[in-house]
Structure 1
Amino acid sequence: MHDNIIRQVLEQLKNGDVGVEEAYERLKHLPFTDLEFAKVDNHRAIRKGFPEVIFCQGKTPEQIRNIAQTLLDNGGTLLATRADEAAYRAVQEIEPEAIYHSQARIIIVDRRPSKMAVGNVIVISAGTADVPVAEEAAITAEVLGAKVARVFDVGVAGLHRLLAFYEKIASAKVLVVVAGMDGVLPSVVGGLASCPVIAVPTSIGYGAHFGGLAPLLTMLNSCASGVSVVNIDNGFGAGYLAAIINRIGEIGEADEIGEMGETVELGDGAND
């Protein structure tokens, strides 16, 4: 999944493809590049298996473009979250092949060598209104090499919808469950599944929902075993964690890349 820049430079030096001075110039920028407004972590892929991810919210388009350029210059895939159209246009200026997933607010420049997906991550949303956060989780997991399926709009207000997918849920290696309102769905899924469940509260709900605090507390107090919780609307964090768990035990996990997974969408109602 990652480009080992140091190994690549050393191999080129060994083969005579680059000289000592050129190799030195390429390596001296490690472990980070100082852009003054940002210290871009060039070692992230070596340590973590995936390059640094850009969190676009609060950054100007110019800052995003410069950070993206630095990351792309160091090789590997670019992933930028919480991105708007302005951020996308800024990245497109330096990389026309950049892809923008507007619902998930994610920008991707996919430069990984293989598109073979591994494992089985299933992302579940309680309601249609939770889909943007669910998509952020799903696309993140896919970019990190996971095989991902989606089961959307199966909240507890119509429990039969969820149970119709029991066999699919039981086959998962990791489950990401996204819910707003009362946030009960992860507990229900946790009671059905034997794999880890990553719960994601969303900011979708009425007044006493307190912008996601109510479902967050519900999920933290889950009576089902094996349920962990990420922050409100943090689909990226859930997708990243799911991909890491999903890779455990997979052959060649460090060199594999996710492909777009199956999508299952149910209903067209509001969040349950």
Structure 2
Amino acid sequence: MMTAHPRLSLNQATVKHASLEEAIEAVQSAGYQAIGTWREPVQAVGLARAEAMISASGLRVSTHCRGGFFTVPEGPERRASIEDNRRAIDETARLAAAGAEGSQAILVLVVGGLPEGSRDVREARIRVADALDELAPYARQAGVTLAIEPLHPMYCSDRAVVSTLGQALDLAAPFDPAVVGVTVDTFHVWWDPQVYEQIERAGKEGRIATYQVCDWATPLAADVLLSRHYPGDGVIDFASLTRAVEATGYAGDIEVEIFNADVWSTPHPQVASRTADAFALAVAPHLAR
């Protein structure tokens, strides 16, 4: 068995077409100690079965993905979204409890883009804040941290009206850091001229819930959602970003999360192994431990 870096976690999106069982087997074969779960594979086997599988695996759970999509106006669709996020919070708490020591009850949030027919970005962001206000007490009771993930501005219209780490921190500010934090994802923040100042701010506020890594390379895929690459295969400066995150005192798992059709078509064990190798070269040398 290979031995991956002890802080490396494979986010299930990297092996999108794997079942939960196949994803667990792939990370185990590559010597990982942690996995980031996604709702769809968990729901495919049922939450109780997923808990048992995670428990038997001996793996830590680094995050659960994903909640969010808060930007629709008040009405049945928004109420359904809020209720679905409550279910996601429950899933997160139960999977973390099933995982090995060091598992984290962190629900990653992708906040949602502009509702159909809307051009009002400001109003969409207000709805995100309102949803956090509604969900935070439930998350606190469940012992779950809601981790707002800012996405690159090219996703603002359809996936996330929160585009910078600063915006995410502003939304999180009214809440206890144990309840609402942020996700620092290199693919989404590397371009931001304020990223280092905002990482420092996030550290001082205790709000870095999770650190995710993958690379950016051009040309982008026709579907820009599928434009992520293995660390080291693009232009992102993992040395400076990783050192900045480490300097805040963040000592948690680091997830590799890749959306890429070629990666998804590769056998899952090969992806897990290739990810571990890429992490060892591009990210691990810059970790404090």
Q: TM-score range by the shorter chain?
A: 0.3 to 0.5
- Bigger Rg, structure 1 or 2: 1
Normalization by structure 1: what TM-score? 0.32
Question: Hey, which of these two has a bigger chunk of helix by percent?
Answer: 2
- TM-score scaled by structure 2? 0.31
